[in-house]
Structure 1
Amino acid sequence: MGTKVDGLLGGCLGVLSRDFVAFPICYENWPAVSKVKKDAAWDNTIKEKFYWDERFEDAARSYIMKDIGKKWRSFRLRLYAKYYRKKKSFEENIANPPLSIPKDDWAEYLIYRSKRKTKEMCEKNQKNRSKLTINHTGGSKKLKRRKYEMEAKTNKEISRGVLYVETHKKHNGSFINEEAQTICEKICNIESQGTTSAKPSQNDSLGQVLGPERCGRVRGMSFGVCPSQVFGSRIERFCGTTPSSSTASATDMQLQFEVDKLQSKVASDSQLIKEMANTIALLCQQTNVPLPASVSSVTSETIVQDVVAQFPTQGEANQSQNDEANEPNNVRG
């Protein structure tokens, strides 16, 4: 998606996430928001302004709803911090809802915030947040959009490592703290050796310095991306070993999926052909007509073998991907 379109979509979703008529503030969490309201926003607002190929509409909807949910939660927290006053009574806080938010919805939200379970969750989140010692300087601009702009400017593919370095610098070019500087210097050292590809992998410059990814996110990539989508399903996490470069990548998985799908279709079609051949053979026997050689040689096994031979095996696909990933950065296909 181009930079301008990506920015326009992000702005539209930001406005929609702050519409507490479309998505009321009173729900305890985003999954609890009515599907009817999500469908209405998708059909009447998003699809009216943006277009996707029908093949990718489900993926687009999944990403967009997750993004709206993230923005909805963040804006809700900001409203709470701005309007809720600990020194005031619960009734006084309920009587002072933000503009454009119904009083009943605001009251339900404050009731949710006053629950013991909610308070314990907030305390846990604050403790986890305090452990974050390196903040990025990328602002609200998505990493995907920033990467697109950097590649357009430099006319070359940008790796996760280079993007990480860029988003941990201040405006004057210095790093945000010493810890970030140490990490970025290690990344730059690996990048300068030209031994890693710009394509994301578990063994690229960022992966070598920061180690394996956690479930649910991939560093240096936009919101909604998980390790299995980028590196494949068979990835090593927190096992104390360096991830192998032969691990199946997303491209390998897609290729294998297509091969498996074709094999299944061929097997189904070949079985039908074999049944037709048996029927023809029976008719020829009953009518004393010689059986054609082309029919007598039909078997599902030979058909499948002939078709499958045209496609690479998983090992061959992995080897092809590894050879490409091991090329220096200055070699372009």
Structure 2
Amino acid sequence: MANKRMRKLIQNSQRRSTREDSSNRGVDHENESQDTTSHSPLELQNEEVNEQDENEIMPSSQAQKRKRGKTIMRDIHALHPDHMLVVKFNERGQPYGDLQPTLANYIGTIARNGVVLPLSFLDWRKMPTNCLNDAWKLVTARFCISNCHRRVIMQMMGAAWRRWRTEVKATSYDSNTPLEELVAIQPIPHGLTLQTWEILCNYWKSTEKTSKINRENANKKKGTHAQGHTNIPSLEYKFSQENGRKPSRIEIQQLSRRSRKKGGAPIDDEAIRIENLLKETVDRHLQDKPEGTQPIEVHEETFREVFGPEHSGRVRCLGAGALPSQVFPELCKRSSMYWQDYHSNSDMTDKFKEMGEKIKDMELREAQRQMEIEQMKRQMKENDQFQNFARVMLSMMSGSAGGSHGPESLPTQMAAMLTNIMQ
């Protein structure tokens, strides 16, 4: 039963990707999986947001078709805890395969939930730890994912949360309209509270100049990914299965910027220009190499020459989550020893457990050593007191004890010494 349901989820995921790439994208509703119903708080919140989005997107004319709302992922929310989905991760910790789009869509439903991840926190980096932990628990309740992949999952969730906030601003906020009039014209969008909506509007009002600069920079962006829900690690995996080797970054750039509707042709003139420039640079590098050198051997050198140095903490054409220390370990000496065994998650877990046990043993040994030191101090103190007592007894025997008062003062001195010993 579990395998049958997982196959159905994979088919639904593939069907969604096919609809996105077809000409009548987003119109076919009959193939959606709606045979189960969930009553979890997260899904109920997403259903309210979905219904509100559908009500807000009203056709301007009868000829315009009504668009579908946000993805709810009822089939995933209705999964039994024993039927968790297993997502594949590559050596860089990025998800890929047939269930990758399903995971991405499910993360989107969590990011759009104002109860789990509130929009009142204006920066994802300031999101409280308890909210992030709750979101992570929702993901691991439906997908079998190790803790070592939390960084990538949280990065995907943060990107989806920022897209959601941008969409709220684009559909419901008007910088030219005061907040009082804006609330009077239309209700507060997407189920937000009045306090959260006021915080967002005031924040957007104070950052209009920065937002304008960000829009201008976004318009300068080149190299749009054109494969829909299929991410770059999935393209890498498919290429390696067909060709028996991993693709170079030039090949990934070409795969991700080709249109299926155009028969695999580049999506725009910019993609054509980049491909021609890369081909010319590859041919020029091959002229300086010995005869018989394959083009794939100069692809990395060509890519760096055409696109320039990498941005800090990122690697081009490998998707979100790829770090320079993973891709170029020889250039990152500090982290090369860490990332060389990244793919073996079980080994890393065993190493962490072993380190934790060693730390506990060291703490126990330190505690025992402190106890021994205290015991030695007490013994030394008792020895000093016994030595004083012995000296008093010797003085008494020699007749010199008691000072000027003579032997009659000995009982008092002995009583005092015995009291100190008992203490």
Band of TM-score, shorter chain = 0.5 to 0.7
Residue from 13, 25, 30 that aligns with 2:119 = 25
Find out whether 1:11 has 2:105 as its counterpart.
yes
SS in 2 for 1:4: coil
Aligned to 1:184: 275
Residue from 246, 260, 263 that aligns with 1:157 = 246
Aligned to 1:143: 232
Q: 1:113, 1:119 within 8 Å by CA — same for their partners in 2?
A: yes
Find out whether 1:47 has 2:147 as its counterpart.
no
Q: For residue 252 of structure 1, report the CA deviation from its aligned partner.
A: 6.8
In the alignment, the residues of structure 1 paired with residue 257 and residue 229 of structure 2 have an alpha-carbon distance, to the nearest angstrom, of 14
Q: Could you list the runs of 5+ residues in structure 1 that have no partner in the other structure?
A: 236-247, 266-333
In the alignment, the residues of structure 2 paired with residue 250 and residue 144 of structure 1 have an alpha-carbon distance, to the nearest angstrom, of 22
Aligned to 2:296: 196
Q: For residue 82 of structure 1, report the CA deviation from its aligned partner.
A: 0.6
Instruction: Read off the aligned partner of 1:144 and give its amino acid letter.
Output: P
Q: Deviation string for 1:141-168 (max 9, x for gaps)?
A: 3211222233334454222211101222
Instruction: Read off the aligned partner of 1:23 and give its amino acid letter.
Output: L
SS in 2 for 1:213: coil
Aligned to 2:328: 231
User: What's the TM-score, normalizing by structure 1?
Assistant: 0.62
Q: For residue 109 of structure 1, report the CA deviation from its aligned partner.
A: 1.1
Aligned to 1:313: none
Aligned to 2:395: none
Q: For residue 87 of structure 1, report the CA deviation from its aligned partner.
A: 4.7
Instruction: Read off the aligned partner of 1:99 and give its amino acid letter.
Output: H
Find out whether 1:167 has 2:291 as its counterpart.
no
Q: Percent identity?
A: 22
Q: For residue 207 of structure 1, report the CA deviation from its aligned partner.
A: 2.8
Q: Deviation string for 1:217-241 (max 9, x for gaps)?
A: 2111111222233113737xxxxxx
In the alignment, the residues of structure 2 paired with residue 14 and residue 135 of structure 1 have an alpha-carbon distance, to the nearest angstrom, of 20
Residue from 121, 128, 146 that aligns with 2:210 = 121
In the alignment, the residues of structure 1 paired with residue 275 and residue 339 of structure 2 have an alpha-carbon distance, to the nearest angstrom, of 33
Q: For residue 135 of structure 1, report the CA deviation from its aligned partner.
A: 2.8
Change (3 A) 1:204 1:139: farther
In the alignment, the residues of structure 2 paired with residue 225 and residue 80 of structure 1 have an alpha-carbon distance, to the nearest angstrom, of 30
Instruction: Read off the aligned partner of 1:141 and give its amino acid letter.
Output: T
Aligned to 2:178: 89
Residues 268-287 of structure 1 correspond to what in structure 2 (within 5 A)?
none
In the alignment, the residues of structure 2 paired with residue 233 and residue 17 of structure 1 have an alpha-carbon distance, to the nearest angstrom, of 36
In the alignment, the residues of structure 2 paired with residue 111 and residue 230 of structure 1 have an alpha-carbon distance, to the nearest angstrom, of 42
Residue from 122, 145, 169 that aligns with 1:80 = 169
In the alignment, the residues of structure 2 paired with residue 7 and residue 197 of structure 1 have an alpha-carbon distance, to the nearest angstrom, of 32
Aligned to 1:111: 202
SS in 1 for 2:170: helix
**Larger Cα-atom Rg:** 2
Change (3 A) 1:119 1:5: same
In the alignment, the residues of structure 1 paired with residue 269 and residue 257 of structure 2 have an alpha-carbon distance, to the nearest angstrom, of 11
Q: Deviation string for 1:181-237 (max 9, x for gaps)?
A: 232134456399624359xx9x355334323211122111111222233113737xx
Change (3 A) 1:130 1:197: same
Change (3 A) 1:233 1:75: farther
Q: For residue 80 of structure 1, report the CA deviation from its aligned partner.
A: 0.9
Q: 2:232, 2:318 within 8 Å by CA — same for their partners in 1?
A: yes
Q: 2:258, 2:266 within 8 Å by CA — same for their partners in 1?
A: yes
Q: 1:215, 1:226 within 8 Å by CA — same for their partners in 2?
A: no
Change (3 A) 1:249 1:36: closer
Q: Deviation string for 1:47-104 (max 9, x for gaps)?
A: 2112234xxx1x3111111110111001110111011134532213245321322222
Q: For residue 46 of structure 1, report the CA deviation from its aligned partner.
A: 1.4
User: What's the TM-score, normalizing by structure 2?
Assistant: 0.50
Name the Cα RMSD after superposition: 3.4
